[in-house]
Structure 1
Amino acid sequence: MPSTLGFAILAALAKGAKTGYELTAVMNRPVSYFWTARHSQIHADLQKLLTDGLVRFEAEHGPGPQGKKVYHLTSEGRAVLREWVTEPPRARTERDELVLKTFASWLADPAEMAELFRVQLALHEERIAHYEHQQASFERTPDPGEPAFGNYATLWCGLSYERHRAAWCRWMIERLDPAA
């Protein structure tokens, strides 16, 4: 059974063949909005997927003297991915440092905490603007059977999350700095 990162790689390859470099780029954007991985992790999981017969590669001429490997999803890989997609996700441990800091915020100067939340608010508003720009690039909402549907649905989730966090930051600022 692949790791969660392995499933992320399979999902990226389900949309089309990619080199290792292209997989890393996909993992940086858009996958990094909800799952992060370093190149070394991607390479290690890709090797496991090869060993398990879930992906294969074809060697092609590269831009320089080195060749390149173009990875493809196998029919077994597609079947494993299709089965995994509908399974309930594993329980995950929540780790949110800002929420932990908020839990202990009664110990801090309210003005300093308000500034912390102003900085966080600015970050969330920046992400909202970025996500809204991406959302505007869609001419229509893709149908669930289209590869772009997953991109749109995860973008919608990201927008909802960022809007929620921004609203929470505003609420915290109002409580910490009534003059704001």
Structure 2
Amino acid sequence: MTSTLGYAILTALARKPRSGYELACSMGRPLGYFWTARHSQIHPELQRMVAAGLVSFEQVPGPGPQRKKIYSITGKGRDALREWAVEPPQARPERDELALKAYAAWLADPAELAKLFQAQLEEHERRLAAYEDERASFAGVPGSDSQSFGDYAALWCGISYENHRIAWCRWMIEQLGAERAPRAASGAAWCEM
């Protein structure tokens, strides 16, 4: 019925009506810690969703001479979002540039690669600290029927992800600093890549 971006927009509008600009700003920082969208993607999607009856808008006075549109989710949009929320996610290709760089590590200078992973480690540690600060603002785990449960669930996923990346970056740095002794080939072939 709509794209994944459309469902991200519906999720944001289900929380509160917003202008296209406010939607773009809310997705500038990853929505739910795992979804971003550019301004240029949001407006065409909004038009498709208005045409499909998933979203409506009202025009209100804007800051300048132009009126601005405030978008709201419709009943049809809320129903579509409810149905989508329990469907299995679509298969998506994995595209992790840092993992790809690790895959090519045997070609790189270990000291330079260790610097790259150190910078990544620091970035993930900063993000984790911000997520932990945000988690501290919750009194506990909200009930699953509250809007803030979704915030907490996505935050918990973000914290888990950052902890995983931190551990992996530390492991990579350790491996890149280790003596590189030739390793014997194992008897079992895993997979030719």
Partner of 2:100: 100
Shift, 1:141, TM fit: 1.6
Please, what TM-score do these two structures have when normalized by structure 2? 0.88
After superposition, what is the alpha-carbon deviation per residue over 1:106-142, rounded to whole angstroms, capped at 9, x for unaligned?
Answer: 1222211211111110111111111111111222221
Deviation (angstroms), 1:65:
2.1
| Partner Cα distance (1:32, 1:16) in 2 | 15
Between the aligned partners of 2:26 and 2:175, the Cα distance in structure 1 is 40
Question: Is the contact between residue 56 and residue 71 of structure 2 (CA under 8 Å) also seen in structure 1?
Answer: yes
**What TM-score do you get using the length of structure 1 for normalisation?**
0.95
Residue identity in the other structure for 2:169: C
Q: Deviations over 1:54-76 (max 9, x none)?
A: 11011111233221111111100
Give the AA of the match of 1:76. K
Could you list the structure 1 runs, at least 4 aligned residues long, displaced by more than 6 angstroms after superposition: none
Structure whose residues are more often helix by fraction: 1
Distance 1:124 1:149 in 2: 24
Contact 2:32 2:151 in 1 (8 A): no
Give 1:149 shift. 1.0
The 1-side partners of 2:14 and 2:63 are apart by 25
For 1:57, what is the secondary structure of its paired residue? Answer: strand
- Give the structure 1 partner of residue 46 of structure 2: 46
Corresponding letter in the other structure for 1:173: I
- Percent identity between the two aligned chains: 60
TM-superposition CA deviations, 1:127-167 (whole Å, max 9, x none): 11111111112222211111111111111101100110000
Name the counterpart of 1:156.
Answer: 156
Q: Which AA in structure 1 matches 2:109? A: D
Answer with 1 or 2: which has the greater Rg: 2
The alignment covers a number of residue pairs equal to 179
Gaps of 5+ in 2: 180-193
Unaligned runs of 5+ in 1: none
Which residue number corresponds to residue 68 of structure 2? Answer: 68
Secondary structure, in 3 states, of the residue corresponding to 1:31?
coil
Larger deviation: 9-18 or 131-140?
131-140
Distance across 2 between alignment mates of 1:101 and 1:30: 24
Aligned counterparts of 1:18 and 1:70: Cα–Cα separation in 2: 5
Quote the Cα distance in structure 2 between the aligned partners of 1:112 and 1:50.
Answer: 50
